[in-house]
Amino acid sequence: MGIRTGAQYIKGLKSRQPEIWLQGRRVTNVCEEAIFRQPILEIAKLYDMQHDEEYQEQITHICEETGERVNNAFLVVKTPADLQARRALYEAYARATFGLMGRTPDFLNVVLTSLYHNASFLEKYNPQWAENARNYYKHVRDNDLFLTHAIINPQNDRSKSSHEQQDMYTHLGAVRETEEGLIVRGAKMLATLAPITDEVIIYSFPGFKPGDERYALAFALPIDTPGLRIICREPMQDGTRSVYDHPLASRFEEMDAVLVFDDVLVPWDRLFLYNNVEAANGLYPQTGIGQQPAHQTGVRGLLKLQFATEVTMRLADSIGVDVFLNVQNDLGELAQSLESIRALLKVAEQEYDILPSGELMPGYVPLETIRGLLPKVYPRAIEVMQIIGAGGLLMSPTDSDMEHPDLAADMQKYYAGREGISGTERVRLFKLAWDLCGEAFGQRLLQYERYYTGDPLRKRAIFYNNFKRVHACSLVDEALSVYQAKAETGSETISQ
Ligand SMILES: Cc1cc2nc3c(=O)[nH]c(=O)nc-3n(C[C@H](O)[C@H](O)[C@H](O)COP(=O)(O)OP(=O)(O)OC[C@H]3O[C@@H](n4cnc5c(N)ncnc54)[C@H](O)[C@@H]3O)c2cc1C
């Protein structure tokens, strides 16, 4: 089939009935549910972009194997040009969503492409797992599917490993083998957009200990697999708020969910890893499924930071406060953070590695640096927005107030900004800002940037340990060489 349209994506959603729970009730038609309607349309737009003349050449390519047009997320990157083709896709999707939707289809499809290309890692443990991963990639590519993923265990007792939790099946684990496949039970979090996806892929970060064998799992299933329960978090908005009052929150809400597997059958051909702690610990660091998508998240994060920075700049200008030194200082800080991320992305794209498999891997150090910086600079951008917007963020009237004939004059007089900024213009700008920095929607976006790629604290520690391994500290050696010189010459002075 190759690239789908938005209508085909929606038709796919309508054809299934996954077990979705929302606010204590079972959702029977996800497409008719107010909270999901707009996000579904936003994802559908991304699918339609694949057929749009303006984007098609940039974000899709002809698959060598099938001759069909497929999304660039399925391109195995072997040259810098391939990497740019991937970047064009990430950028197009991030621009279309202002970087606010983190789990657009390109994210997990890149994960899968990387797993496909590095399936030899699985081969050494079980050739069938490698074969399954390769076939699954082709299935997703050729049907242009949209995946969610859940890689974290529920937050019960983090001081204990999976097999030490009170209940053996709190964390998702294997129960028994059958002729058809493996029965799994337990929960995983936190599957963003799960209710409006086609399939789910399960894998884990490293950290398995001996005794955790039953939890060492990787597999993929259709989202409507019997026994798979999707429990949504409380919505940040009810899906009926006006686009005028909430220009972002009304459109880009990404639902998050806990996935409960109630004795779910994983067919043997959908299993990528099982009962092997060593393989489960190696999967993430050794198959590129962490590093390749870091390019996607870097591009998306850059766009989101750019958006937050631009909103703050316009906010400051609209009320004439950007003439003050303190405000310029804060805005300058945001601009410098933005430019640092942009520069790091360029370095990542230029300082790539070519792996023995032929895969081009964008630079680890700059990508991981972005991953370390974004959880700091994005929350800071939101803080600066709150500080500069100040009380004005809390005085925005509603659409109905703006439209009411009795209030129209007040709206244009008291809500206007500096000279040249009308009441309408200022109110719209402040509404945009409030969605980002005040609404529950904006707080989730902030939490997302802190945690979407795992715990930044532990990630930075891993980064440091890797950095230490390859970084020789040669300048220190050079500085200390004076002592060697002194020992050899017996003199305090260093000869020229
Ligand atoms: C909005 C949002 C969307 C997300 N979407 C997805 C998704 O689509 N798919 C997915 O799989 N995941 C998703 N995640 C989950 C994300 O991967 C996790 O939030 C992240 O890995 C951190 O894990 P945790 O939330 O369980 O925090 P925890 O690991 O429980 O950490 C809680 C706190 O304890 C500290 N801590 C815990 N353990 C240790 C330790 N061993 N050593 C030192 N400190 C420790 C941490 O530093 C942190 O401060 C999402 C998260 C958010 C916030």
Tell me how far apart the alpha carbons of residues 394 and 136 are, in angstroms, rounded to a whole number. 49
CA 371–ligand 1 middle distance (angstroms): 14
Alpha carbon of 470 to ligand 1 centroid (Å): 28
Question: What 8-state DSSP symbol labels residue 196?
Answer: G
Distance 454 CA to ligand 1 centre (A): 5
The domain locations on the chain are 6-286, 291-454, 460-496
Best residue among 223, 378, 451, 462 to mutate for probing ligand 1, ranked by most atoms within 8 Å of CB: 451
> For 330-338, what is the mean pLDDT?
98
Q: What is the pLDDT of residue 486?
A: 80
- Write the residue with the smallest CA distance to atom 15 of ligand 1: 190
Q: Which helix (H) or strand (E) holds 202?
A: strand 199-202
3-state secondary structure of 183: strand
Find the mean pLDDT for residues 1-23: 97
Distance CA 288, CA 363 (A): 12
Give the model's pLDDT for residue 186: 98
The 10 Å Cβ neighbour count of residue 152 is 17
Asked if residue 103 has its Cβ within 6 Å of ligand 1, the reply is yes
Residue 8 assigned ligand-binding role:
no
For ligand 1, whether the C-beta of 23 sits within 6 Å is no
pLDDT exceeds cutoff 80 at 132: yes
Q: Is 371 in the pocket of ligand 1 (CB under 6 A)?
A: no
Cis? peptide before 331, omega within 30° of 0: no
Could you report how far apart the first and last alpha carbons of the chain are, in Å?
72
Question: Whole-number mean pLDDT of the chain?
Answer: 96
- Confidence at 488, pLDDT banded by 50, 70, 90: confident
What percent of the chain is modeled with pLDDT above 70? Answer: 99
Q: Would you say 35 is a known binding-site residue? A: no
Residue 150 labelled as part of a binding site: yes
Q: Which atom of ligand 1 is nearest to the CA of 444?
A: 1
Query: From the alpha carbon of 149, which atom of ligand 1 is closest?
Result: 9
Least confident of 92-96, 295-299, 488-492: 488-492
Q: What is the pLDDT of residue 485?
A: 81
pLDDT bucket at 324, cuts 50 / 70 / 90: very high
Pocket test for ligand 1, best of 103, 190, 459, 460 (most atoms within 8 A of CB): 190
pLDDT over threshold 80, residue 171: yes
- Per-residue model confidence (pLDDT) at position 367: 97
CATH superfamily of 6-286: Butyryl-CoA Dehydrogenase, subunit A, domain 2 (2.40.110.10)
pLDDT of 240 > 80? The answer is: yes
- For ligand 1, say whether the CB of 457 is within 6 Å of any of its atoms: yes
Q: What is the pLDDT of residue 239?
A: 86
Q: Are 494 and 485 in contact (CB under 8 A)?
A: yes
Closest ligand 1 atom to the C-alpha of 455? 22
Indicate whether residue 190 lines ligand 1 (CB < 6 A): yes
- Beta strands, E only, 355-448: 360-361
- pLDDT tops 60 at residue 389: yes
* Residue 237 vs residue 234, higher pLDDT: 234
Measured CA to CA, the distance from residue 432 to residue 110 in angstroms comes to 31
Instruction: Give the pLDDT score at 493.
Output: 56
279 is an annotated ligand-binding site residue: no
Q: Is 154 in the pocket of ligand 1 (CB under 6 A)?
A: no
Q: Which CATH superfamily is domain 291-454 in?
A: Butyryl-CoA Dehydrogenase, subunit A, domain 3 (1.20.140.10)
Ligand 1 atom nearest to 194, measured from its CA? 8
Question: Is the beta carbon of 159 within 6 A of some atom in ligand 1?
Answer: no
Q: Is 371 exposed, middle or buried (0-12, 13-18, 19+ CB in 10 A)?
A: buried
The answer to whether residue 494 scores a pLDDT higher than 70 is no
Flag whether 151 is marked binding. Answer: yes
Task: Report the predicted TM-score, pTM, of the whole model to 2 decimal places.
Answer: 0.96
- Mean pLDDT, residues 91-99 taken together: 98
| Mean pLDDT confidence for 360-380 | 97
Task: Tell me, in angstroms, the distance from the centre of ligand 1 to residue 137's CA.
Answer: 27
Per-residue pLDDT at 181 exceeds 80: yes
Instruction: Give the Å distance between the CA of 455 and the centre of ligand 1.
Output: 5
Taking CA atoms only, the protein residue closest to ligand 1 atom 33 is 455
Alpha carbon 126 to its chain's center: 30
pLDDT of residue 356: 84
Decide if pLDDT at 395 tops 90.
yes
Cβ neighbour number for residue 463 with a 10 Å cutoff: 17
Q: Worst-scoring range by mean pLDDT, 4-13, 239-248, 421-430? A: 239-248
The number of the ligand 1 atom at minimal distance from the alpha carbon of 192 is 8
Question: What mean pLDDT do residues 17-37 have?
Answer: 96
Question: Whose C-alpha lies nearest to ligand 1, atom 2?
Answer: 448
* Cβ of residue 152 lying under 6 Å from some atom of ligand 1: yes
Q: How confident is the model at residue 491 (pLDDT cuts 50, 70, 90)?
A: low
Summarize pLDDT for 460-469 with one digit per residue, the tens: 999 999 999 9
Residue nearest to atom 25 of ligand 1 (CA): 451
Strands, sheet with 257-267, edge to edge from the N-terminal-most edge strand? 25-27, 19-22, 228-232, 257-267, 181-189, 173-177
Q: How many whole angstroms separate alpha carbon 105 and alpha carbon 296?
A: 11
Q: So what's the pLDDT on residue 492?
A: 61
Domains 6-286 and 291-454 share a fold: no
- Token pair in block for residue 342: 């942009």
